[in-house]
């Protein structure tokens, strides 16, 4: 899918429609101190195996996270994630 570098969309900080710049962001490393991760690490200790079923296949497409930054106030906000095999910003 092709997307333009800039789109005009609503900015919740300016409270009006302004020009926004599109950028793709990468996933950040999950926190090790969250409750779920602490439980997961505790279960992995010892002689037991993996605590949940292993994934046997991958999905055919990955979900791309696209964020938009306002050109006026320079603040960014998220858009709905998009699934596609090919992804290109700019024409």
Q: What is the pLDDT of residues 20-45, one digit of tens each?
A: 999 988 878 889 999 999 999 999 99
Band of residue 75 on the pLDDT scale cut at 50, 70, 90: very high
Q: Are 16 and 78 in contact (CB under 8 A)?
A: no
pTM over 0.75: no
Which CATH code of 3.60.20.10, 3.30.70.100, 3.40.50.300, 3.10.450.80 fits the domain covering 2-51+61-89?
A: 3.10.450.80
The whole-angstrom separation of Cα 7 and Cα 71 is 10
Strands 76-78 and 66-70, sheet pairing: antiparallel
Query: How far is residue 83's CA from residue 60's CA, in Å, rounded to a whole number?
Result: 9
Spatial distance between the Cα atoms of 22 and 77, rounded to a whole number of angstroms: 10
């Amino acid at each position: 899918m092709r997307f333009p570098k800039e789109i005009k969309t609503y900015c919740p900080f300016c409270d009006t429609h302004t020009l926004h710049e599109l950028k793709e962001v990468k996933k950040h490393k999950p926190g090790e101190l969250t409750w779920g991760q602490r439980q997961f690490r505790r279960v992995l200790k010892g002689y037991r195996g993996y605590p949940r079923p292993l994934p046997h296949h991958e999905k055919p497409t990955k979900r791309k996270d696209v964020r938009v930054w306002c050109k006026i106030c320079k603040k960014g906000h998220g858009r709905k994630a998009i699934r596609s095999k090919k992804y290109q910003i700019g024409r």
